[in-house]
Structure formats: structure tokens, C-alpha cells
Amino acid sequence: MNKRMNLMLTISAIAVMGGALFGSSFTSQMTGAALGTDQSALDKIHAMGGLELMMPAAFAAGGNCDSDEYADRTVVEFPLTGVSIDLPRLGGGTFSAMTFSEQIPGPTLRVTQGDVVKMTLSVPDGEATPHGNDMHASQVSAVPTFGAVQPGTEKTYCYIAEVPGVYKYHCSGVNIAAMDQHVLQGMYGIAIVDPIDGYSKLMVEKTTVNANGDVARDRQFHSGDALEWQLQYQQMYLTDAGTYDATKMFAHDTVYTAVNGQPFGYVPNEIHNLLNGHPGTNIFVAQPWNSMDLHQYQSQLLFTPTGVHNRIFVENQGNEPVYFHIVGEILDRVTQGNRVQSGGTETWLLGGSQNMIVDLVFDEPGVYAGVNHDYAAIYTGAATIWVAGLPLPTINETATALGVVQGAVDTGMYAGVLGNPYDAIPPYGEQSIHHPAKNVHCMCSDDVAAAQAAEGAVELWVAVPAIIAAASE
Ligand SMILES: [Cu+2]
């Protein structure tokens, strides 16, 4: 099978999945079923200002930043703001988002094992509700450390990041009241704690035919340096008006599955349709975010070269299991807490608030779909498309005609021209292979998108029309 056919098969397979998206399975999700949940008890807790756990004063020093233990360690400050904003939802309109620093997920913290994290949560005056921050990378008394921060105030706590890995952080609600709403409307993020002596080299299983004509094992090794990604999974439970629907949450009745805050946020868009010679026609059937007018919310693809070590930080921020699989690939290694959990596995399961680091090498040029291999999740948004190498002849020809192909050829991936989406890339660490460029992409406010651009990320909705206009003169 040639590579072009391979691509077409992949796209048609996804087209079949997409066909169901706006069909019966989707509409049945929208209606929801009433549940006998005792909402009044939750309302009472909320009215009380949350559950107040009474603890002896001896425990009240949790997260103290004046500890002698912190001398001679690197202190990393991590300021966050807890703020409610409206953000766009799949299919049009907005939803009532709750955010850390106007983005879903919140900013990623990256430290080295042994560093001190100094976390400050500010809640602006006028914010409708208090917020808190529970960081799973810490080992401190939850009370009072993760307690509610009132509007117009801020709170700081410190801890040593002792254990390497990926960790959820999330709003703790109003002393745990309404925590579900705050988290599932967007108040979550990750902390990456790099191992103090670095990431291990990666072994990939291969075979070869040796000089005697025998098939033999040919294990291939890649250094610990890697091209890195971050993917965070979450369910959205929304009313038609875009507010939080607790009944749907208790029923596990998912409306959308978001990856980094956005259902179907990493699929082709209008730009790829254009470059692929299909202006005005979708090359991927489910393209709900494909207009350049959507700016930072237009969907973007993930581009990687073949034969390169990729390291993916994955966190299940949601309410359902994540059966992480990449269609067309095998996960070469799965690590948690710097201990290898599996190697050469097709799929790895993450429960709620569970994480992993997936290491893999994309073997041949083509199109690959990272999914939560739960069909309800795939059809509600958990499909993330990687394009490995330069497998799309039409795009190659168009890019050549526009005079922009050299950047792609040099990097072995289309990110050499289009960049990779800013929000899919964690902050760089010592063993990060830097992406050739980033594009502005996030489920975030215009201010956050502008900050990405100020850091050098490309606004494709500006750059691509300019390139096309210049080429046509
Ligand atoms: Cu909150």
C-alpha cells in the first residue's frame, strides 16, 4: 500500500467515526436523563460556604513557605488566578468556563525533582465564587493548604516536588463544595516533575533480516531527548445554555470529551483544506473548528517527524477512564513516577486523576489518531490527529508553489511551515527537542492568545492569508 492510500484509508476510517458524531449517538447525549440525585444536600453545603474540616492547630502549618528544608533548593514560583469567563463551545455559542489564568487547561508547571514549588492563587475582586488549588505533586496537609481563597484575596503555599512524574492540579471548589463544577468547567492543569538524573533512553522493538537471511531482533535506541506533547482529557457536562449540568455528571452522561479543553481541537482546519487542494471542502469530516475567523480556537494538527523520540505527558482530568491509544502506532514505553509500567503496548488505561508519560517513535510517514478508545469518548471529541513526516503530496506541491516548503523539508514535518499548537506543547525542560515553531492555539481568552503571539507563536489566521496573497501577486 502506498503512503497516499494509507492516508486516504485513515481519513475515510475517521470519516466513518465522524458520521456518527452528529447522528443518533450524539443527539441522545444532548437530552440527558433525570437522576434521583439529592441536589438539596449539595445546595445546603454550598450555602454553608463548603465543608469546613476542624483540624487541631498542630496541622495548621501545611504548606508553610518558611521551612529550613528549603534552603539550598531551587524555588519555582507558580502564580495562578482563579477566574470565571465565557469560552466558545462546540457547535456554536459559549459556556460558563471556570479557569486558572483564563485558559483551559491552566498553565503547566515544570520543575525538577527536589525543587520547591511556591504556589500562589489569587482570586480577583468581583469573582462570583472563591476557589482553591489542590496540587497532586505536593505532599502536605490538605487542610488548610488547599482551602478556599476568597475573592479579592490570595494565598500562597510551598512544597518540595519529591516524586518525578506528571501530576494533576485542580480547583478544590469552595472547601470542596461545587468542586466538581469548578474542575469540570475547566479549573485543572498539570505539574511535570522531571527526574533529578534525567529521562532514560528509549528502546524500540524492531526486527531485521540479517546477512544469513534470518529474521532477527533489532532493538533500536533513542536518547532521552524528545519532542514533547501534553494531552489532558476531561468530560464536559453542559446544559443547552452552557452552564454546568450536575445531573449529567452524576449520570456520567458526557456531552463532550475535551482534549486540552477543546473537543476535536486537533483535527484539520480550513488552512489544511486549502493547502490540500480542497478549498471550501473538508478533508476531515468532523471539522467543527475549521474557520480562520475562530482565531485561537480553530483546530490545529500535531506535526512530528518520523524516527524521532516523542514524549507525551498525559493526564486524565475527567470523570471517565481514558483508554489511551494511537491508531496506527504502538506505545513503545509507558512510565509513571519514573518507573516503567509497560513497553510495547497497544493501549494504556488511566483512571480519573491518573497520569503517564508515553514514549514512542512514529515509524512511517502518515496520519495517526490519538484517541480515548472508548467509543463514547471518540465520538464526543477525543480524537487527536498527528501527521508524521511529509506524507501529503498535494500539500507538498502547494507549499512548494508558495515557496514555503523548505522549512518543512528541513524539519521533516509540516511544523516547519505551520508550527505546532502552543497548548499541546509543555514548557521546555533540559531534554526537550524544541519544536521548529508554535502556532497560537488554546481554549483561552484573547489576552492569553496575545501573550502566546508575543512569545513568537504564529497567528496562522493572519500569516496564511498573507502568504497566499503574496504568492498570487
Ligand atoms: Cu474554583
% of the chain with per-residue pLDDT over 70: 87
| Spacing, Cα 83 to ligand 1 middle (Å) | 8
| Spacing, Cα 178 to ligand 1 middle (Å) | 8
Residues with CB under 5 A from ligand 1 (ion): 131, 171, 182, 187
The whole-number pLDDT of residue 49 equals 56
Q: Give the largest Cα separation in the chain, rounded.
A: 78
| Spacing, Cα 441 to ligand 1 middle (Å) | 23
Count of C-beta atoms within a 10 Å radius of residue 140: 17
pLDDT in tens, 439-472: 999 999 999 999 999 999 999 999 888 877 877 7
Closest residue by Cα to residue 379 from 24, 3, 119, 80: 24
Closest residue by Cα to residue 108 from 423, 366, 363: 423
Compute the average pLDDT of residues 227-241.
97
Count of C-beta atoms within a 10 Å radius of residue 229: 24
CB neighbour burial string for 284-307, b if at least 16 within 10 angstroms, e if fewer: bbbbbbbebeeebbbbbbbbbbbe
The whole-number pLDDT of residue 467 equals 79
CA distance 420 to 398: 19
| pLDDT band (50, 70, 90) for residue 47 | low
The whole-number pLDDT of residue 111 equals 98
| Spacing, Cα 97 to ligand 1 middle (Å) | 10
Asked if residues 410 and 416 have their Cβ atoms less than 8 Å apart, the reply is yes
CA-CA-CA-CA dihedral for 416, 418, 423, 427, to nearest 10 = 20
CB neighbour burial string for 242-275, b if at least 16 within 10 angstroms, e if fewer: bebbbbbbbeebbbbbbbbbbbbbbbbbbbbbbb
| Spacing, Cα 6 to ligand 1 middle (Å) | 45
| pLDDT band (50, 70, 90) for residue 45 | low
pLDDT in tens, 178-193: 999 999 999 999 999 9
The whole-number pLDDT of residue 62 equals 61
Compute the average pLDDT of residues 405-424.
89
| Spacing, Cα 182 to ligand 1 middle (Å) | 5
* Res 20 pLDDT > 60: no
CA distance 436 to 241: 40
CA distance 255 to 366: 31
* Res 218 pLDDT > 70: yes
Q: What is the pTM of this model?
A: 0.87
| pLDDT band (50, 70, 90) for residue 9 | very low
| Spacing, Cα 106 to ligand 1 middle (Å) | 12
